[in-house]
Structures are given as C-alpha cells and as structure tokens.
Structure 1
Amino acid sequence: MAASGGNGESTTKPKVYSTPINFCPSCGGQVSKQVPEGEVEERAVCTQCHKVHYVNPKMVVGCVASYDNKVLLCKRAIKPSLGLWTLPAGFMELGESAAEGAARETQEEALTIVHIVAPYAHLDIPLIGQSYIIFRGELEKADFKPGPESLDVRLFALDEIPWDLLAFTSVTVVLKKYIEDIERGAFGVHHGVIEKKPGSSPSDPDGYVLRDHMVVPGPR
C-alpha cells in the first residue's frame, strides 16, 4: 500500500456542521449534552427517557460511469450546486449495499443502466460529516437522459471535463485520481480525507486539501 499527502495529527477536533438534536425522537423530551457511562464523547441524552442519541456520518455512494473512454456527468437540477456538474451519487438508502446504491443513483439521475466494476475511492469529509464510497462502472450503451434531479447528462472526454463547473470537491478529487490512474495504465483503490478550507464553497476547485491519501495499486 502506498501513501502520499500529509499525515500530521491535529491536536484539536475540527468543527463539524450538523443538525443538533434538541428533542428526543422517541418521547419528545428535551435532551442535554452528556457523556454517557463508558463513553468519552458528549452525546444527546434525553432528560426524560434517558435514551442516548447518536449523530453519525452520512454515507454517500456513487460511481464513475464510463463509456468509450468518456465519463458520465450530470448537471444538477437541485441545490446545493444547482447547475453544476457531478458524478451520479447520493445518500445510501436502508436495505441496499453500497454498490446497489451507486447503480440506483446512476439510474435515477441519468436514467441509464451501469454495470458496477470495482470499488474505486473512499473519501471522508469530517467537516460536514459525510463519507463517500465511489465505484468504477461501465455503461451498457450510450443511452441516457436527465432524471428528475438533473438538467442535463453528458459523456465527457477526459480532456473536456469542466473543472471550474464541478459541483463538489469530492467529484474533483475522484476525477483527478481517475485521470492519474488512466495515465499510469492501472486503476487503484483510493482513500483520503478532504479538509475544506475555511470559507470555501462546496464547488470551490481550490478550496480543499487532500490528506492521508492512500492507494492500493492495481495491476498494470
């Protein structure tokens, strides 16, 4: 396994933007921040039924769907990043595997069928509490059109990717690694942590640092 990027440990936990729990989803009672017995982190604990509520990262699944040496991108019809281009991706649903979710998102956003080939990238964004699992996939045919969440769907050659119009940092990172792997003649499986720069937007192409990048190289 090869590793690149910074590996320094932060002495303070970064601020995470999440929706606080003010009332107990179970009984409606008010919650307070407490450290439950046997734990070290503060949790939302109901003051009436004493149930402990956990706020965990959201899992996002998607894929780099290719056809004829091009990749499929969807122009978003919804906020955030309305009108910008993204890989087919979205929140994983209960009852499905990550690969099934990636295929479903492609079908929903581009109304097309993708064959999932292999895992490709796992990216964490601690600031917003999201973890991404991205697969490589192949389209059966160049038959696609915008779904309800897309304004447009296109196949882009790798030298035609609209870098300044990509919707999310995660998409930028995945596509850059994809092109690097194409150029070296083998796909790896990547992991990394995306640290957003203060004040940067979700689509800022320079508003991040990729740290703790690791890759399991594939055969050439």
Structure 2
Amino acid sequence: MNYCNECGANTRQAIPDGDNRPRHICSSCDTIHYQNPKVIAGVLPIWGDQVLLCRRDIEPRRGFWTLPAGFLENGESSVEGAIRECYEESLAVVENCRLLGVFDIPYIDQVYILYRGELTAPQFAPTPESSEVALFNQAEVPWGELAFPVVEMALDLHFQQSEQPQPASHHLVTRPWRPQAR
C-alpha cells in the first residue's frame, strides 16, 4: 500500500505504539491501515449421497471444479454468505446449513468457513461464474480437477463422515499444497 485511503498521502511502514508488527501508516493523517486475511464463505451442497460441484468459469483456476464459495460481504453472516454464494454460482438453494469446518490458509492470507447444506431440490444450473454444475457421488468426484486444496479437504471430511448422524466440524491449518494422485 503506497497511498492512504483516507487522504491520499504516502504511507510508510512502522510499528504503531502498542502494536507488535509493522503496519502501513499515513505520513499525513496518521491513519493506520490494517491488512487482514480475506474470509471466504461456502457450502458443500448435499443431495442424498451426492455433492454439488461447480466448474469455475472465472479466474483463478478457470475450468476446475469447486464448491460454491466466495468472499464474505460486509453486513452478512458467514452462513448467509455461504447460502448467497451457492445461489450465485449454481442457482441452487440450500437449507439446514451446519458448520463443516474452518480452514486457515495463512500462506495466502485466507480463512475459509465451509458449511454442509441440504439442497431443497436437485435444481441447479450454470451461471456467469460456473460453466457447469453437477452432482457427484464419492466415486465420481473429479478428484484430479479440483480447483483448490480446501475443496479436496472439505470433500474428504464430508465423505469420511457422511454416515455419521452428527458429523463433526473441524478446524484445519493448511500449508502449500500439491495435488495428490488418487
């Protein structure tokens, strides 16, 4: 960050009084500009023993499969954001959302909050964000074509616990990822 969002003056990096790490500070109005991780909210939509995946039609990772998820907006809860993202990416409606997990990804400054949600009906369609939307059982998941490591981790957790009456929620910290052959 080179310029202050408040007044447009140059910023400098310094440790503010009472803080413990360098921040961008305006050289004119002294506004401290905090840079924090982005929060991504999403849902793993379920229909019977199948999950709904979307083939991305936007970058990054265009053409790869993902769960419907995106950046949380100001003024919405994480579950509201997950439900909104599901509809925006697949035109699918989910209900009964339960926390699947919180996935910290510090090397790219992101936190994913993912829910399990039940599709109200097997109705979905592509949108400007998704070129294809489909239901998959565990054997049909295009494992080698998943867009992000968190998608693979969430699917693994879901399928490991799919027979449990009260699946657990999880907190995971990820490190740089390389796709695994299945």
Please, what TM-score do these two structures have when normalized by structure 2?
0.95
Shift of 1:116: 3.5
Measured in 1, the distance between the counterparts of 2:131 and 2:104 equals 27
**In structure 1, what is the equivalent of residue 29 of structure 2?**
49
1:72 paired residue among 42, 49, 52: 52
Mapped to 2, the partners of 1:141 and 1:182 lie a distance apart of: 19
Q: Which runs of 5+ in 1 are unaligned?
A: 1-20, 198-203, 207-220
**Is 2:57 aligned against 1:101?**
no
The aligned runs of 1:77-92 (5 Å cut-off) are 77-92=57-72
Q: Deviations over 1:139-197 (max 9, x none)?
A: 01111101110000000011111110000011011111111112566411010101115
**Unaligned regions of 5+ residues in structure 2, if any?**
none
Task: Give the distance between the partners of 1:166 and 1:87, measured in 2 at CA.
Answer: 9
Partner residue in 1 for 2:137: 157
Q: Per the alignment, in what secondary structure is the counterpart of residue 174 of structure 2?
A: strand
Match for residue 148 of structure 2 among 168, 172, 196: 168
| Distance in 1 separating the partners of 2:129 and 2:65 | 12
2:24 matched to 1:34?
no
Paired residues of 1:121 and 1:189 also in contact (CA < 8 A): yes
Q: 1:178 aligns with which of 138, 154, 158?
A: 158
Give the equivalent residue in structure 1 for 2:179: 205
SS at match of 2:175: strand
Looking at structure 2, the residues matched to 176 and 167 of structure 1 have their Cα atoms a distance apart, in angstroms, of 14
Query: Given residue 162 of structure 1, which amino acid in structure 2 is its aligned partner?
Result: P
Aligned residues: 180
Q: 1:137 to 1:60 in 2, by over 3 A?
A: same
Residue 196 of structure 1 is aligned with which of 165, 170, 176?
176
Distance in 2 (alpha carbons) for counterparts of 1:142 and 1:175: 19
Q: Distance in 1 between matches of 2:82 and 2:24?
A: 32
Q: CA RMSD in A?
A: 1.2
Q: Which runs of 4+ in 1 moved over 4 A?
A: 183-186
Q: How far, CA to CA, are the matches of 1:184 and 1:113 in structure 2?
A: 23
